[in-house]
Chains A and B, each alone.
Chain A
């Protein structure tokens, strides 16, 4: 990964929240190549969500530079919004609307219309096993169904880059399996995926490239093999993670 070849370029990214002395992100530089399944890992409060929020334009950086798809985040946010899809940690859906109505709204806002939107909605609802409940209000869905729909809403417009903030948190094994399989399929088709999770085993299986951050800094990065070699060859990612971030619980 090097500047100029990457679809996401993050240089010296710093974020200091108002009233805080310690930076949430401290001069982070990362380069994410096109088609990569990038895992951003770290304990609670490490700065993962802050970085995701900056990448999708919800937060402004204190300093540093971010380019996404060749567009500067500072100056070309509308263009960036057209090529990214975001799956937030929360179930960001309207509970009184049905699955189809939710997708119709989000797809429409992303520029899809007519038969393209309808076909895409039907296709994804079927793939994620929600087609039978497409006319049910989302508030009546189970946790796993909501998670799956949350994911569909982010990938409906077939974005070039998909940013996921803990997409499988709190779901059963079956739903998690559906989500993971579809993310892998999407990545195989060329979509760049930026993914944060606390499930290290899941990250180990999914990600082609990993960065572990703690206290706003990147403490290690590379492919899984590179990280293993750099730390303790042969050990599990969880052991390396604990070795790097410590065993004390975080707030």
Chain B
């Protein structure tokens, strides 16, 4: 016990004397969580709050063009511009402006669009009343031209196209109903009021985020991002941890300790203790930042719902997994460079596999299957289950067990390789 206390004291001193390293251990994860959460929150708001820059050339002076423009402005999805460099856009200037990324989307409503759609609808309605077929080969189509910035993400583009289609469809149906009213009145000698007045939404959606028990959970970008990026940051402790092991091995102090009444397991146990405290402090700092600093930065506050103790247990298990991985990397790697490159790339891969960057349901089936081998996935699911699905600690115990098995497994690999090195190398 005395030995381990002395070693913990040593590891603590080595850690706190490295001020730059210590600052990085805390500042970098905090910065990572703050930046990534802000970015994801901004992206979310950009779609919802007039963030998408759209330039429009409305050559149709009639109702279709005006209605589309009005709907687009009303939707608040878009930041609508009618000019480029204080001049009305032409097809060419619009194309160039979108291609250069100044606008995410450019829209051209052609001249006479309303007239053409009205004629087409009128013809169709007339044919309907005269008993003729509605389908006519070579029917004149109306093209609303959309220019899209290639850098715009596919998901965003699909969302934009869907919205624009929805507006045009609404307007088209309004014209159809108006024409239909006119034709009915004409053919039947009636005075039917405009059918548009009867048009009203009859299908509504009621959304509810469901969680276990009676808890009504309202997840936001913070609830989703803080656990994910906290785990990612915690796993990056692998790099300083492995480096400290390699440094100790290279300068001979590990060998010196091993010639004393002290074994490899004791030396590692001391490091695990110190770095576990560091990881937990990281976690607490991030949680405090989520609760108190995020609202000051215009982000939603992190809501723990009184589950700090349960979240702490998940955080400690994830920390042990990260530290175990660090021990394995530090033992197997021969140099600092090897450890740094392998650790950083492998953590990024494990994070990507584990659903830190892209939600699992959006991944291809193969990646969804292999995601279950990532410890970051276990940690993330544990956090989500507690934070937004209101699961009990017992219900996430299988994630805890997996994280601990991973940690112990990594340490056994390190121990085996340490013995192998003594035996054969």
Given A18-B425, A81-B260, A97-B13, the answer on whether A105 and B255 have CB atoms closer than 8 Å is: no
Taken together as a complex, chains A and B put the C-alpha atoms of A90 and B425 apart, in Å, by 19
Chain B positions 237 through 272: 1 when the CB is less than 8 Å from some CB of chain A, otherwise 0: 000000000000001110111111110000000000
B residues less than 8 Å from A82 (CB atoms): 261
Taken together as a complex, chains A and B put the C-alpha atoms of A110 and B252 apart, in Å, by 17
Taken together as a complex, chains A and B put the C-alpha atoms of A81 and B263 apart, in Å, by 10
Answer whether residue B102 sits at the interface, using C-beta atoms and an 8 A cutoff: no
B424-A108 in contact (CB<8A)? no
B residues less than 8 Å from A78 (CB atoms): 261
Answer whether residue B92 sits at the interface, using C-beta atoms and an 8 A cutoff: no
> Size band of the A side of the interface?
20 to 34
A55-63, A121-129, A167-175, A192-200 - interface stretch: A55-63
Which listed residue (B6, B422, B423) contacts A105, Cβ 8 A?
A: B6
B2-A110 in contact (CB<8A)? no
A104-B259 in contact (CB<8A)? no
Taken together as a complex, chains A and B put the C-alpha atoms of A12 and B260 apart, in Å, by 26
B residues less than 8 Å from A18 (CB atoms): 424-425
Within 8 A of B (CB), among A74-88: 78, 81-82, 84, 86, 88
Taken together as a complex, chains A and B put the C-alpha atoms of A59 and B422 apart, in Å, by 5
Answer whether residue B417 sits at the interface, using C-beta atoms and an 8 A cutoff: no
Which listed residue (A97, A109, A154) contacts B3, Cβ 8 A?
A: A109
Which listed residue (B17, B18, B260) contacts A109, Cβ 8 A?
A: B260
B residues less than 8 Å from A224 (CB atoms): none
B422-A58 in contact (CB<8A)? yes
Which chain A residue lies CB-closest to B267?
A109
Answer whether residue A183 sits at the interface, using C-beta atoms and an 8 A cutoff: no
B422-A108 in contact (CB<8A)? no
Answer whether residue B212 sits at the interface, using C-beta atoms and an 8 A cutoff: no
Taken together as a complex, chains A and B put the C-alpha atoms of A97 and B423 apart, in Å, by 32
Given A56-B259, A78-B261, A106-B260, the answer on whether A113 and B2 have CB atoms closer than 8 Å is: yes
B residues less than 8 Å from A105 (CB atoms): 6-7, 9-10
Answer whether residue A137 sits at the interface, using C-beta atoms and an 8 A cutoff: yes
Which listed residue (A104, A110, A137) contacts B17, Cβ 8 A?
A: A137
Answer whether residue B363 sits at the interface, using C-beta atoms and an 8 A cutoff: no
A residues less than 8 Å from B262 (CB atoms): 81, 109
B residues less than 8 Å from A97 (CB atoms): 10, 13-14, 17
Taken together as a complex, chains A and B put the C-alpha atoms of A91 and B18 apart, in Å, by 19
Which listed residue (A17, A91, A110, A137) contacts B260, Cβ 8 A?
A: A110
Taken together as a complex, chains A and B put the C-alpha atoms of A105 and B262 apart, in Å, by 12
How far does the Cβ of B165 sit from chain A's closest Cβ, in whole Å? 64
Within 8 A of B (CB), among A100-146: 101, 104-106, 108-111, 113, 137
Within 8 A of A (CB), among B4-47: 5-7, 9-10, 13-14, 17-18
How far does the Cβ of B304 sit from chain A's closest Cβ, in whole Å? 37
How far does the Cβ of A97 sit from chain B's closest Cβ, in whole Å? 6
A94-B255 in contact (CB<8A)? no
Which listed residue (B256, B261, B425) contacts A111, Cβ 8 A?
A: B261
A residues less than 8 Å from B14 (CB atoms): 94, 96-97
Taken together as a complex, chains A and B put the C-alpha atoms of A69 and B16 apart, in Å, by 40
Answer whether residue A93 sits at the interface, using C-beta atoms and an 8 A cutoff: yes
- The B contact surface, by secondary structure, is helix
A110-B261 in contact (CB<8A)? yes
Which chain B residue lies CB-closest to A79?
B261
Which listed residue (B2, B6, B13, B252) contacts A92, Cβ 8 A?
A: B252
How far does the Cβ of B294 sit from chain A's closest Cβ, in whole Å? 35
Taken together as a complex, chains A and B put the C-alpha atoms of A78 and B258 apart, in Å, by 10
Given A60-B423, A92-B253, the answer on whether A86 and B6 have CB atoms closer than 8 Å is: no
B255-A108 in contact (CB<8A)? no
How far does the Cβ of B269 sit from chain A's closest Cβ, in whole Å? 13
Given A18-B424, A92-B253, the answer on whether A108 and B18 have CB atoms closer than 8 Å is: no
Which chain A residue lies CB-closest to B262?
A109
Answer whether residue A153 sits at the interface, using C-beta atoms and an 8 A cutoff: yes
Given A18-B424, A105-B9, the answer on whether A94 and B261 have CB atoms closer than 8 Å is: no
B259-A81 in contact (CB<8A)? yes
B425-A81 in contact (CB<8A)? no
Within 8 A of A (CB), among B130-179: none
A58-B17 in contact (CB<8A)? no
Which chain A residue lies CB-closest to B10?
A105
B residues less than 8 Å from A153 (CB atoms): 256
Chain A positions 32 through 61: 1 when the CB is less than 8 Å from some CB of chain B, otherwise 0: 000000000000000000000000111110
Taken together as a complex, chains A and B put the C-alpha atoms of A101 and B423 apart, in Å, by 32
A88-B10 in contact (CB<8A)? no
A residues less than 8 Å from B6 (CB atoms): 104-105, 108-109
Taken together as a complex, chains A and B put the C-alpha atoms of A89 and B251 apart, in Å, by 10
Given A104-B6, A105-B10, A109-B6, the answer on whether A94 and B253 have CB atoms closer than 8 Å is: yes
A57-B260 in contact (CB<8A)? no
B residues less than 8 Å from A104 (CB atoms): 6, 9
Residue from the set A108, A109, A111 with the largest chain B CB neighbour count within 10 Å: A109
Taken together as a complex, chains A and B put the C-alpha atoms of A110 and B7 apart, in Å, by 11
Which chain A residue lies CB-closest to B266?
A109
Taken together as a complex, chains A and B put the C-alpha atoms of A96 and B260 apart, in Å, by 21
Within 8 A of B (CB), among A142-179: 153-154
Taken together as a complex, chains A and B put the C-alpha atoms of A59 and B421 apart, in Å, by 8
B251-A92 in contact (CB<8A)? yes
Taken together as a complex, chains A and B put the C-alpha atoms of A78 and B265 apart, in Å, by 14
Show 11 A/B contacts (Cβ-Cβ < 8 Å), sorted by A: A57-B258, A81-B259, A81-B260, A86-B256, A90-B251, A93-B251, A93-B253, A105-B6, A108-B6, A109-B6, A110-B260
User: A90-B252, A101-B10 are known contacts; what are 10 more A-B pairs with Cβ within 8 Å?
Assistant: A17-B424, A18-B425, A89-B252, A90-B255, A92-B252, A92-B253, A93-B251, A106-B256, A109-B6, A153-B256
Closest 10 CB pairs of A and B: A90-B252, A92-B252, A108-B6, A96-B17, A92-B256, A86-B259, A56-B259, A105-B10, A18-B424, A92-B253
Interface residues of B (CB under 8 A from A): 2-3, 5-7, 9-10, 13-14, 17-18, 251-253, 255-262, 422-425
Interface residues of A (CB under 8 A from B): 17-18, 56-60, 78, 81-82, 84, 86, 88-97, 101, 104-106, 108-111, 113, 137, 153-154
